[in-house]
């Protein structure tokens, strides 16, 4: 029995050393969604876009506290962020950017609405969630193919059209708008259920708009954005925050906080989104146990 026990002990030590070595190199977070993604349901956004007569009205409805579609707090300051609408166009292809100004020179693109015209009454559109917030290849597409009756298309594709640019920026917002505290996720879902149960749109992982590559658009990402996930294992909830190429893990079971800095890479897996940070520096902070 003793030899077997010694072998098991040695094997356990070897596995522990291997795990420690791997952890010092990479931290992998499996996250099917993020707190930021829970703050803006893109299916509800699609419904607002479908019903708007123009992009100015769409921007207002997007930020209307009475409608409650916007519950984003990207910089985690306890206030809902204002989402402005910016548009780029080339020929019959349009990219409508939903962007949050988080500082004078800090902008985070949340999603893009991509529209193309193929004929007199043939339009195609999708909403693409920004990868930082929604993970890779997250699209919202119409269930019906014939979407030409939507009023906004007649406005966007009228003669002598100029791409829409929001008049608002960080620190300058509409008179009717003021920041408010975000609500809990379950409360937010009760607000958006009237939009998300219409079955007008569905979630896909395949693009359906092809000509938007002609549009000169480059996504903006802010270093202030936090992507936080919570994983419960064995009754203990571990909080993981990914911010600007840095992973911070708080483990209440061990009382330790671990910070890994380096290059962030996000890939899609069958279990969700896998975010890996290749470490340049790892620090451990021991917290006193109560």
pLDDT value of position 8: 46
CA distances from 3 to 6, 7, 9, 15 (A): 5, 6, 10, 18
CB 109, CB 219: distance < 8 Å: yes
CB 84, CB 99: distance < 8 Å: yes
**Residue recorded with tokens 């480059």:** 218
- CA 22 from chain centre, in angstroms, equals 28
CA distances from 148 to 61, 115, 117, 123, 136 (A): 21, 12, 10, 6, 28
- CA 57 from chain centre, in angstroms, equals 23
- Residue-wise pLDDT for 79-112, tens only, equals 999 999 999 999 899 999 999 999 988 999 999 9
Residue 256 pLDDT class (50, 70, 90 cuts): low
- Is 166 a residue whose pLDDT tops 70? yes
pLDDT value of position 50: 97
Distance CA 165, CA 56 (A): 9
- Residue-wise pLDDT for 6-59, tens only, equals 544 454 444 444 444 333 333 333 333 567 889 999 999 999 999 999 999 999
pLDDT value of position 224: 82
Q: What is the pTM of this model?
A: 0.69
- Is 153 a residue whose pLDDT tops 90? yes
| Vertex 121: Cα angle to 119 and 122 (nearest 5) | 60
Distance CA 131, CA 11 (A): 40
Cα dihedral across residues 65, 71, 73, 79: positive or negative: positive
- Is 197 a residue whose pLDDT tops 60? yes
CA distances from 122 to 52, 58, 118, 145 (A): 19, 22, 5, 9
The residue-averaged pLDDT of 116-124 equals: 90
The residue-averaged pLDDT of 198-220 equals: 91
CB 63, CB 83: distance < 8 Å: yes
Distance CA 188, CA 39 (A): 8
Residue 257 pLDDT class (50, 70, 90 cuts): low
- Give the domain ranges of the chain: 37-214, 226-290
| Vertex 227: Cα angle to 225 and 228 (nearest 5) | 135
The residue-averaged pLDDT of 242-250 equals: 49
Look at phi and psi of residue 215 and say left if phi exceeds 0, alpha if psi is from -120 to 50, else beta: beta
């Amino acid at each position: 029995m003793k030899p077997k026990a010694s072998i098991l002990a040695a094997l356990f030590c070897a596995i522990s050393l291997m795990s420690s070595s791997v952890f010092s190199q990479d931290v992998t977070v499996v996250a099917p969604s993020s707190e930021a993604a829970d703050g803006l349901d893109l299916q509800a956004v699609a419904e607002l876009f479908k019903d708007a007569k123009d992009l100015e009205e769409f921007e207002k409805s997007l930020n209307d506290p009475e409608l409650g579609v916007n519950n984003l707090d990207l910089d985690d300051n306890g206030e809902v962020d204002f989402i402005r609408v910016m548009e780029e166009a080339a020929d019959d292809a349009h990219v409508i950017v939903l962007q949050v100004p988080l500082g004078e020179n800090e902008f985070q693109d949340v999603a893009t609405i991509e529209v193309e015209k193929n004929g007199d009454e043939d339009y195609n559109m999708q909403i693409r969630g920004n990868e930082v917030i929604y993970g890779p290849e997250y699209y919202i597409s119409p269930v019906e193919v014939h979407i030409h009756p939507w009023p906004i298309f007649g406005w966007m594709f009228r003669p002598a059209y100029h791409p829409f640019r929001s008049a608002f920026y960080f620190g300058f917002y509409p008179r009717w708008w003021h920041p408010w505290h975000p609500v809990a996720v379950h409360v937010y879902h009760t607000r958006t259920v009237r939009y998300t149960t219409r079955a007008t749109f569905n979630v896909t992982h395949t693009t359906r708009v092809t000509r938007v590559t002609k549009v000169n658009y480059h996504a903006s990402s802010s270093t202030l954005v936090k992507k936080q996930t919570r994983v419960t294992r064995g009754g203990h909830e571990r909080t993981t925050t990914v911010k600007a190429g840095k992973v911070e893990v708080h483990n209440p079971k061990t009382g330790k906080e671990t910070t890994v800095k380096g290059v962030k890479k996000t890939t899609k897996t069958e279990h969700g989104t896998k975010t890996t940070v290749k470490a340049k520096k790892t620090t451990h902070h021991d917290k006193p146990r109560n």
